[in-house]
Structure 1
Amino acid sequence: MDDDFQTYLNRAMQLILPESCRTQMQHIQESPKFRYVPGEGLRAVPFPGYSVVTPPGTAEAENETFYQSLERYQQQLIKDMGSNILAPVPPPSFHLTLADLIWDSAYRDALQQKPEYEAQLRQQMVKIFEQSQMMNEGNPIHFQAIGLFIMTRAIAMCLVPTNESDYDRMLKFRRSIYQNRELMGLGIEQQYYFTPHITLGYFSEVPPPEMLGQCCESLVTLNHQWLEESNKDFWVNRAELRKFNDMTDYYRESDWAVFGF
């Protein structure tokens, strides 16, 4: 289901073009993952589930300077667009999702139908990572951040692998998850093409028409500045099974599945 290397590179470069920003700005929607609470401001809405992700923000020192750069750009986005429009992801929760597993209503339904569902999911992920050890080459997978782009309900930093070999390693890793029969039996299937990105914020409301151009120009300006940024490298050293109750916190227990690249 995922693109080959060159197709993904072409698609990624299209995502960060000014023309793509202007087009996508016309189609953004309010994210259901955050809502405004009178007297409290923006609050994350319950949205539970599991994903395979890189260690979030402060949990991984190797990407610390990169995340610091992302935080600066996030702060500028909020300043330009307004905190009422963009609900920021807490920097300690910045991460790259390597494989979405199950979330929201599908997760709740699975748990209701099978109380032992979570234990089975966690056990199966341990088995998958153990069976995938042949893919452990002892070298991290190298990505480079190329610019911000607009998603339907969020703004994210787009990542591209620096070589085809690293991209193929990542796709093989994803296939080891999505093509596992036991995991399929737990209702997990691939639903999205792999578009590696780090989400900086979600649209808590749609900007008024007169602000759309301004928001887009802010993104274009920041992408020009990013060209001069020195901290563009992002390293995927390991993948972890993590649970989330909303979009602000991804956590794990010490015995949950971990895979080292």
Structure 2
Amino acid sequence: MDNTYQDYLERIAHLTTPATHGSKLEHIVESPKFKATEDGRREPVAFPGYSIITPPGREDRANAEFYQVMADCQTRIAQRLGASLFAIVPPESFHLTLADLIWDGAYEEAGYDPQFDPKLQRCIGEIFEQIQPNLSSPQSPQWQMSGLVVMPRAIAVTLNPTNEAAYDRIIALRRALYQSRALMELGIEQQYNLTAHITLGYFGKATEPLDCQELAQFLDACAQEAMAAAPPFWVKRAELRKFTDMTRYERSPNFPVLSL
């Protein structure tokens, strides 16, 4: 289901243009992952599940400088859009999702089996153990910021691999996960192809009509400034993380980890 390397680069290039931003901004909708507070801001609501991600920002020392650039970009966007329209993701929870697993209603339904969580954790651990020898390398995959993307409910930073080998390593991980019969039996299957991104914030409600073309140019300027300042992004670890909402990604000491 995932793109080839060249198709991936071409798709991301299209998603990160001002013209695409402008057309996407005309159709944004309020994210249900955040709710309005009395003071006009937005706070996360319960949205439980599991993902395979890189360590969150507060734990990822290898990418501290990269995440600071992302936080500066986020601040600029948040000041432009306002708290009612743009709910920021705390920089300490910034991360790259390597593979979505299960979330929200599907996870709540799976929870009727009291053994679901340990089954999932054990299954991911077995997959990581099987593929670790094939993914070990002297140098971890290196990616780089390639722009901003406007999604229906969010704005995110997009990433491109620095070479085809870096892309193939992540695709190999995803293939091992999504082709696992054991994971399929737990109700987990691939639903999205890879769009490597780090979410900066989610949309709320606009208090006034948006000038989509002007905002598109603003976002492109933010992206160009951030790309000029951002160092490479290292993908050194893939971790199973349990999330309770879109700002909290936790792991127990026994949760499986894959070195990349």
Question: Could you tell me the TM-score, scaled by structure 1's length?
Answer: 0.96
The CA distance in 1 between the partners of 2:59 and 2:227, in whole Å, is: 27
Other structure's SS at 2:102 match: strand
Superposed, which structure 2 residues align to 1:200-239 within 5 Å? 200-206=200-206, 208-229=208-229, 231-239=230-238
> Higher mean Cα deviation, 98-107 or 10-19?
10-19
Unpaired segments ≥5 residues, structure 2: none
Question: Partner of 2:47 in structure 1?
Answer: 47
What displacement does 1:158 show?
0.5
> How far does residue 154 in structure 1 lie from its aligned partner after superposition?
0.3
Contact 2:70/2:226, CA 8 A, preserved across alignment: no
Gaps of 5+ in 1: none
User: Which residue is 2:103 aligned to?
Assistant: 103
Tell me if the contact between 1:101 and 1:188 (Cα under 8 Å) persists in the aligned partners: yes
CA change 1:100–1:207 in 2 (3 A) is farther
Cα displacement (A) at 1:165: 1.1
Aligned-partner Cα distance in 2 for 1:32–1:192: 19
Partner of 1:75: 75
Relative to structure 1, the CA distance from residue 89 to residue 174 in structure 2 (aligned partners, 3 Å threshold; closer, same or farther) is same
Instruction: Check whether the contact 1:146–1:232 (CA below 8 A) recurs between aligned residues.
Output: no
Distance 1:221 1:129, change over 3 A: same
Q: Secondary structure at the match of 1:55?
A: coil
Residue 149 of structure 2: aligned partner? 149
Q: Distance in 2 between matches of 1:42 and 1:105?
A: 22
Distance change in 2, residues 1:26/1:207 (3 Å): farther
Where 2:8 maps in the other structure, the secondary structure is helix
Partner of 1:83: helix, strand, or coil?
coil
Task: Compute the RMSD of aligned alpha carbons.
Answer: 1.3
The corresponding residue for 2:17 is 17
TM-score of the superposed pair, with normalisation by structure 2: 0.96
CA distance in 2, matches of 1:138, 1:205: 47
Structure 1 SS opposite 2:253: coil
| Cα displacement (A) at 1:220 | 1.9
Match of residue 34 from structure 1: 34
Partner secondary structure for residue 189 of structure 1: coil
Q: What is the match of residue 66 of structure 1?
A: 66
Contact 2:65 2:231 in 1 (8 A): no
Residue 90 of structure 1 is matched in structure 2 by 90
- Supply the distance in 2 between the matched residues of 1:253 and 1:204 (Cα, whole angstroms): 32
Name the amino acid aligned to 2:255: W
What corresponds to 1:249 in structure 2? 248
- Quick one: distance in 1 between partners of 2:246 and 2:204? 13
CA distance in 1, matches of 2:115, 2:227: 49
Kindly, what percent of the aligned residue pairs are identical? 44
Asked if the contact 2:56–2:93 (Cα under 8 Å) also holds between the matched residues in 1, the reply is: yes
Q: CA deviation at 1:256?
A: 0.4
CA contact (8 A) 1:48 1:244 kept: yes
State the secondary structure of the residue aligned to 2:111.
helix
- Please state whether the residue corresponding to 1:192 is helix, strand or coil: coil
